[in-house]
Structure 1
Amino acid sequence: MDPIALTLPFTGRWVTQNSPARRVPSHGVDLLGQRYAIDFVGVDDRGRTAPVRDWRTFLTTEPPERFLAFGRAILAPASGVVVTAHDGETDHEARRSPLALVPYALGQASRLRRGIPAIAGNHLIVEDRDSGAFVALVHLRAGSLRVAVGDRVAAGQPVAACGNSGNSTQPHVHVQAMDSPDLTVARGIPLLFRSFREWPRRGPAPHDRETGIPAEGSVVEPLSVG
């Protein structure tokens, strides 16, 4: 199956996590159309996801507002039509501490039983005009959605803000392409991104890429949007 080409759904620098360049399925499962999904966490020019580290970082949860990604604009990764727009899920506390991550991991089965909103949180799905694939933006900030079902969007158009809703341990945006807008039956489709600069995890020199999948742990920044 040929990958579909998208634009990165943000401006500025973000670090890549759970990349399909590292493994497939990228998140360890095919469930909910996630086979080729990829995560991006906002960082500053020093590669930090949050400028503050204190006792909460090591022992308990932290407010999502502490993280650089929280509230950053999320852009449409493709031109097309909005087919799903779900809002109203809470942005919960973030977790970097292993002490806070263990009980959260143990609650995964319970979240699955509660259904799609407990996993995806606030999310949008756009039917890509060019490929017909369905592209999801997941874990959006509560109350931030700027589009509704039936709206036409252009690649690079602001559509929401990054949040920490659903199955998310710290603010980030999860992107995936699928063959159906129904997450309960969707199968993942490979994707790649156009026109971005990538700083490898090891090595200081960035390189510009016309198309590709960012490597695990690399920092990326779009060269152009839309």
Structure 2
Amino acid sequence: MHRFLPLFLLMYFIGFSQDENPSYAGRALDFLQAYNNSNYKSIFDMFDVNMKRALPYEETIDFFSQTVKRPMGEIEDMQFLEIKNGGHIYRTRFNKAVTDIFFNLNAANQISGLYIYPPKPFDVPRIERNSTLMQLPFNNEWFVFWGGTTEEDNYHVAYENQKFAFDLVRVVNGKTFSGDAERNENYFAFGQEIVAPCKAQVVEIIDGVKDNVPGVVNSFDLTGNTVVLRTDDDEFLVLAHLKENSIVVEEGQEVNAGEVLAQCGNSGNSSEPHLHLSLQNTQDMANAIGGKLYFDSILVNGETHRDYLPKKGEYISNSN
């Protein structure tokens, strides 16, 4: 499974605090000047090799000129907020918008990761775990590829907006596919029914994203085809990487536990067919804080567990 790449890409900076790294300050100032002068080649030249692959030169120009500058304008200032996950976060004021921005530098002072997303309110309510009773969102046995509360078991833990999320696959005889590994249809998860894990309302749908050839990811439509549910307790569930044109529910629709939502796919930032499942405190994933997702009664490696949070390496299915 591939980690989520930047939802958007950008950068920021101005002003020092005792916690700011001078290398970040200098590189950020270079970026700010290049961005405001529409010198996007200079921005591209600041990227490391992986960033250049994720956002090639022509796409860099299009992204910063059309996706960022056209709606938001030039950067006026940046205020340092915190150091997190090895990078710096800044509240960045554009002419027409305010964002929170995170970026990383490598040892060579190259930009290795940039994220731009709506600012999180300082008093945003967090969600420790679900209060709604949940069942697993499928009707057969799946395997937890990423899951748990430690980074060793679950890389999502390092990312606040998808903290404690699961990546789930189907495994038969120790493999996730049979035959040609470049065909989605050969993966046991592909096309499997994904069902509602509880009574909820459909509040957001993303559809029409093509399924990837396995091994090739779409780093711009990150969640791919997606269904977002809201429970009666204002908990939000994200079910992502669904199969193109397989979603059978509509925004605003009320669904019951076990009701079919879509089929598992390989869309978005996904390297092979799997289901991304997460609990969060708001509808917008870019502005969310993740919470722990426990299931009421499930089989874990063949044994019944109640109120259980699955972890990496376990085979899980509903107990009834």
Give the deviation of 1:80 after TM superposition.
1.1
Larger radius of gyration: 2
Does structure 2 retain, via aligned residues, the 8 Å contact 1:22–1:215? no
- Among candidates 266, 269, 280, match of residue 164 of structure 1: 266
Give the distance between the partners of 2:207 and 2:254, measured in 1 at CA: 18
- Describe the superposition over 1:35-91 as per-residue Cα deviations: whole angstroms up to 9, x where unpaired: 1101110123x3431122xxx64xxxx111110100000001121110001100010
Query: TM-score of the superposition, structure 2-length normalised?
Result: 0.56
Give the distance between the partners of 1:212 and 1:36, measured in 2 at CA: 13
Which residue matches 2:300? 198
Give the distance between the partners of 2:238 and 2:307, measured in 1 at CA: 20
- Among candidates 208, 213, 226, match of residue 123 of structure 1: 226
The 3-state SS of whatever aligns with 1:65 is helix
Residue type matched to 2:254 in 1? R
Which residue matches 1:215? 311
Superposition map of 1:88-107 within 5 A = 88-95=208-215
Residue type matched to 1:214 in 2? P
Give the deviation of 1:17 after TM superposition.
1.6
Moved over 4 A (4+): none
Residue type matched to 2:199 in 1? S
Q: Does residue 87 in structure 1 map to residue 189 in structure 2?
A: no
Residue type matched to 1:185 in 2? N
Give the distance between the partners of 2:149 and 2:222, measured in 1 at CA: 23
Which residue matches 1:202? none
Does structure 1 retain, via aligned residues, the 8 Å contact 2:193–2:260? yes
Give the deviation of 1:194 after TM superposition.
2.0
Q: Does residue 145 in structure 1 map to residue 229 in structure 2?
A: no
- Among candidates 188, 191, 195, match of residue 71 of structure 1: 191
Give the distance between the partners of 2:206 and 2:260, measured in 1 at CA: 16
The 3-state SS of whatever aligns with 1:184 is helix
Give the distance between the partners of 2:201 and 2:311, measured in 1 at CA: 29
Give the distance between the partners of 2:250 and 2:289, measured in 1 at CA: 24
- Describe the superposition over 1:101-159 as per-residue Cα deviations: whole angstroms up to 9, x where unpaired: xxx6xx8xxx2xx3xxx110000000012x21110100000000010110000111111
Residue type matched to 1:3 in 2? R
Give the deviation of 1:211 after TM superposition.
1.9
Greater relative contact order: 1 or 2 (C-alpha under 8 angstroms, separation 6 or more)? 1
Give the distance between the partners of 1:74 and 1:85, measured in 2 at CA: 14
Q: Does residue 17 in structure 1 map to residue 137 in structure 2?
A: no
Give the distance between the partners of 2:257 and 2:300, measured in 1 at CA: 20
Q: Does residue 3 in structure 1 map to residue 129 in structure 2?
A: yes
Give the distance between the partners of 1:47 and 1:10, measured in 2 at CA: 20
The 3-state SS of whatever aligns with 1:120 is coil
Residue type matched to 1:49 in 2? T
CA RMSD of superposed structures (Å): 1.9
Structure 2 unaligned blocks of 5 or more:
1-126
Query: TM-score of the superposition, structure 1-length normalised?
Result: 0.78
Residue type matched to 1:219 in 2? Y
Structure 1 unaligned blocks of 5 or more:
200-205
Which residue matches 2:163? 35
Give the deviation of 1:20 after TM superposition.
2.2
Give the deviation of 1:195 after TM superposition.
1.4
